[in-house]
Amino acid sequence: MTPMRTLRFLPILLLGLTGCQDALESVSNKVEHPLPAKLVNKMKANDMSTRSPIMMRIFKEEGVLEVWKQKGNGRFDIIASYEICKWSGELGPKFKEGDRQAPEGYYRIYPAQMNPKSSYYLSFNMGYPNSYDRSYGRTGSNLMVHGACSSAGCYSMTDEQVLEIYGFARDAFKGGQEYFLVEALPFRMTPENMARHRDSEHFEFWKMLKVGYDHFELTKRPPKVDVCERQYVFNQIPQVENASFQATAACPPASLPTTLASAYFAYEKSWNESFSKAVAKLDHEQARQIAANEAKAQAEAKRAEREAEQAARIAANGGQSPAVPVLSLFSTGNPLKALAAGSPPATPLMPGQPNAGAATAEAATAEAAATEAAPTAGQTAPAAAELAAPAPDLGGVPVPVPNPAAAGQVVAAEPLPQPAQAKKPMWKIWSRN
Write down the domain spans for the chain.
26-187, 189-219+257-313, 224-254
Among 20, 33, 85, 146, the one annotated catalytic? 146
Report the pLDDT value the prediction gives residue 383, as an integer from 0 to 100. 45
How far from 70 is each of 79, 167, 183, 236, CA to CA, in Å?
A: 9, 16, 16, 22
The residue among 98 and 344 whose pLDDT is bigger is 98
Please state, in angstroms and rounded to a whole number, the distance separating the CA atoms of residues 279 and 190.
Answer: 12
Instruction: Indicate if 146 belongs to the active site.
Output: yes
Among 154, 197, 215, 284, the one annotated catalytic? 154
H, E, C per residue of 299-355: HHHHHHHHHHHHHHHHHHCCCCCCCCCCCCCCCCCCCCHHHCCCCCCCCCCCCCCCC
Nearest to 279 by CA among 185, 189, 186, 193: 193
Burial class (CB in 10 A: 0-12, 13-18, 19+), 325: exposed
Hey, what CATH topology would domain 26-187 get? Answer: L,D-transpeptidase catalytic domain-like (2.40.440)
Nearest to 230 by CA among 128, 135, 106: 135
Q: Is the pLDDT of residue 376 over 50?
A: no
Core vs surface per residue 113-125: b (16+ CB within 10 A) or e = bbbeebebbbbbb
Question: Nearest 5 degrees, angle CA 213-CA 218-CA 219?
Answer: 100
Report the pLDDT value the prediction gives residue 428, as an integer from 0 to 100. 55
How far from 295 is each of 19, 282, 283, 306, CA to CA, in Å?
A: 68, 20, 18, 17
Report the pLDDT value the prediction gives residue 288, as an integer from 0 to 100. 80
Nearest to 185 by CA among 208, 162, 161: 208
Question: For 145-188, how does the pLDDT look when each residue is reduced to its tens digit (9 = 90+)?
Answer: 999 987 777 899 999 999 999 999 999 999 999 999 999 999 99
Contact assessment for residue 56 and residue 195, using Cβ atoms and an 8 Å cutoff: no
Confidence of residue 302 (pLDDT cuts 50, 70, 90): confident
Confidence of residue 287 (pLDDT cuts 50, 70, 90): confident
Lowest mean pLDDT among 107-116, 194-203, 243-252, 341-350: 341-350
Report the pLDDT value the prediction gives residue 55, as an integer from 0 to 100. 98
Phi/psi zone of residue 134: left (φ > 0), alpha (ψ -120 to 50 degrees), beta? Answer: alpha
Q: Is the pLDDT of residue 2 over 50?
A: no
Q: Is the pLDDT of residue 237 over 80?
A: yes
Report the pLDDT value the prediction gives residue 20, as an integer from 0 to 100. 30
Q: Is the pLDDT of residue 3 over 80?
A: no
Report the pLDDT value the prediction gives residue 374, as an integer from 0 to 100. 47
Contact assessment for residue 123 and residue 162, using Cβ atoms and an 8 Å cutoff: yes
DSSP alpha helix (H) spans, 220-319: 258-316
- Of all residues in the chain, the percent with pLDDT exceeding 90 is 55
Mean pLDDT over each residue of the chain, to the nearest integer: 80
Confidence of residue 316 (pLDDT cuts 50, 70, 90): confident
Q: Answer yes or no: pTM beyond 0.75.
A: no
Centre a 10 Å sphere on the Cβ of residue 158 and count the other Cβ atoms it contains.
Answer: 16
The residue among 310 and 336 whose pLDDT is bigger is 310
Centre a 10 Å sphere on the Cβ of residue 192 and count the other Cβ atoms it contains.
Answer: 15
Please state, in angstroms and rounded to a whole number, the distance separating the CA atoms of residues 244 and 25.
Answer: 48
